[in-house]
Structure 1
Amino acid sequence: MDIERLAFIFGCILVLIGIIGGGFELKELKIPKMSWPTRLVAIIGGAIFVGMGFFLPAAKEEAKHPAEPAPASQTAGSPPAPVQQPAPAQPATPPPDAEERPAEEPATRPTPVMVKLRWLDNALVYAGYIKSYGQRAELTIDVFDLRTGTFIKTHRQEVRSIPAAGGFVVSGAVDVPGDSVTPYPHSHQFNLVFQNQGGALAVANCTGSNCYPAEISR
């Protein structure tokens, strides 16, 4: 009988003694009565021996069949062998007319026209310039309070020139935190009407039925 079976049988006897508490005879072996501490030690020791009976055979099998070592070509820490990539396919040769075709010239941007302006409404003064690129324009103005002359903000906006009878119109809006007429955040609309009068360009800020003074600076 091997040691695993002996350990298993001995462990079962110890567990049985711990559970029953002694006071019986097993063939020529007489087991006296035991106190609870002794019975607890017998149960723990028996469980250990029973476990040895289960785990010792598995340990022997693992010792008989050790894990196979990794191949010498792939040792621990060494990077895997690089995979050889196929050579990229060569692009097809373009036809001769495609090679000789000249590159298209980029579209030319119209020359900007800058107009300096100053206009009013019921509460603000606007002073700055419009840089026009055909129908698209960039507006940069300083905004002041009309009554006190206090500087409020610098406003920048992209606007569009809309053709009108005898000229064109540029519209937009300016948000302000407040002014002497309306002391809370609000928005001011502007509608600059440009007209050609006898070869000269005239402008007015017309919103609704009201038109306010505006002038082109030189």
Structure 2
Amino acid sequence: MFSSITKVINIKLSLLPASRKNITNSNKTVKTNMNPFNDNLHLLKEIFGEKEVEKKETRLREIFEKTENKWKENTVELGFKKIKYLLICEAPPYSETGDPIYFYNQINSSFHTRIWKAVYPNIKKPSEKEDAFKMLVEKGFLLIDTTPFAMKYDSKHRKKSAYKEIIKNNIPYLINKLENNFEIDTNLKIAFGFKLNAKQFISVTNGKLKLKDLELNFNEHNIATDGSGFTNSNKPIHILSLN
């Protein structure tokens, strides 16, 4: 999520509101005991090789479990009720030791600064994490990842069929998290934080996602990246000000 990219380009983001339809949501039958980490580990080995994944498996599992807890702690447990702005990203970056580097685990990265300026362009980011996360909750801004594995992906990894399959398999888990914890605003706006990850997500969903009684429609205009393919710009991503 916090890849170091030197090329900085101002980006334009088009955010499409969800359209309300009278639909039967088949996702309501999603099981709550899914484990996307265990269920997709064999696919990760297809991407990176069995030896590398087995060497990192314990740490990868630790990152997944800790970041899932932090996501809940700094959204659901802070009283987050209704999603108005959804930023779909990939996964936390890999780290060997210590607390995972993650959006809902810290507020001091350049990525946080760009997101903060998008949500609160005229308000300084609080120095305390809890205060910052509470303000994001008040705006209805939520970030969620599409894969359970904090690996260091590059273009060749993201283009593999196994990577696409991980995203596809993780969608029921993602939907379950959103539907079970939040209300969905009828004018929900959606954006993607990483270009190749977004393209694979759009491909496997055919640009549609059903959440409760809403059908979200999106395409590559919802990808909030610069020429590098990452959300990496010194200009704010005006998620709240763009229609």
TM-score after normalising by structure 1:
0.21
Higher strand proportion? 1
TM-score after normalising by structure 2:
0.20
Which is higher, the Rg of structure 1 or of structure 2?
A: 1
